[in-house]
């Protein structure tokens, strides 16, 4: 059964054992989405909810807006992604001589997890018309990694330095677009 404070303490104790041990904790946590909602609350807005941050560990509650996508980016640390509501599609990218290219993907539903190695590059999509909720655990400080992170433009795939404020803006913009669409649908249905 998921308990926020216990989960954080277990991750703190376990992070030194590596990604495999963290994967087990995340899998157990997201196996009961109802309990995670009871502890973390129903999402009101899309965004990045910091649960814990230290030099060797970051735990984030991500809430993806409906039909939202986040540009390709890297972490420079291992990560474990666990979905407790909705769906998260990940496209995996690799560096090439001229930039990056897609080489694989995975689709996660409630109760699923995936792991990303230290050098992984991925983009994220919530392909459904409702919020997707996920716990992401990183083996380092997500906001201040030991080496600079990168992100890539969706259209041109041009590489630029990671900008967490730009990522936060992407969450807000995706939520605003979805809300505007939903309002226009409601107006059309009322006519």
Domains of the chain: 4-190 (2.60.120.10)
53 contact partners, CB below 8 Å, separation of at least 6: 59, 141, 142, 143
- Cite the beta strand spans of 17-158 per DSSP E: 47-54, 57-64, 69-74, 79-85, 87-96, 99-109, 113-116, 121-125, 132-138, 150-152
- pLDDT computed for residue 170 by the predictor: 84
Q: H helices within the chain, ranges in order?
A: 4-14, 19-30, 33-40, 164-190
13 contact partners, CB below 8 Å, separation of at least 6: none
Single out the residue of 60, 117, 64 nearest to residue 104, CA to CA. 117
- pLDDT computed for residue 145 by the predictor: 87
Strand partners, 69: 125
* Contact by Cβ (8 Å): 90, 70: no
121 contact partners, CB below 8 Å, separation of at least 6: 72, 73, 74, 92, 93, 94, 95, 100, 150, 152
Q: Is the pTM of this model over 0.85?
A: yes
- pLDDT computed for residue 173 by the predictor: 86
Single out the residue of 21, 26, 24, 13 nearest to residue 136, CA to CA. 26
Strand partners, 80: 115, 137
Strand partners, 54: 57
The pLDDT averaged over each successive group of 10 residues in the chain (191 residues) is 94 96 97 95 89 97 92 95 97 94 96 95 94 96 90 93 86 83 74 77
Which helix (H) or strand (E) covers residue 161, if one does? strand 159-161
- pLDDT computed for residue 114 by the predictor: 96
| Whole-angstrom distance, CA of residue 7 vs CA of residue 105 | 28
């Amino acid at each position: 059964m998921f308990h926020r404070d216990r989960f954080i303490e277990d991750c703190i104790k376990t992070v030194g054992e590596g990604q495999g041990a963290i994967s087990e904790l995340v899998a157990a946590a997201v196996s009961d989405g109802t309990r995670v909602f009871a502890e973390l609350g129903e999402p009101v807005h899309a965004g990045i909810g910091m649960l814990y941050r230290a030099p060797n560990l970051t735990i984030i509650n991500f809430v993806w807006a409906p039909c939202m996508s986040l540009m390709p980016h890297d972490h420079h640390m291992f990560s474990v992604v666990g979905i407790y509501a909705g769906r998260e599609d990940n496209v995996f990218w690799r560096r090439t001589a001229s930039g990056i290219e897609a080489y694989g993907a995975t689709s996660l539903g409630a109760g699923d997890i995936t792991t990303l190695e230290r050098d992984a590059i991925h983009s994220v999509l919530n392909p459904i018309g409702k919020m997707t909720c996920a716990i992401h655990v990183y083996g380092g400080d997500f906001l201040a990694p030991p080496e600079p992170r990168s992100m890539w433009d969706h259209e041109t795939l041009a590489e630029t330095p990671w900008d967490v404020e730009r990522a936060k803006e992407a969450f807000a913009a995706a939520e605003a677009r979805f809300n505007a669409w939903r309002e226009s649908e409601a107006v059309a249905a009322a006519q």
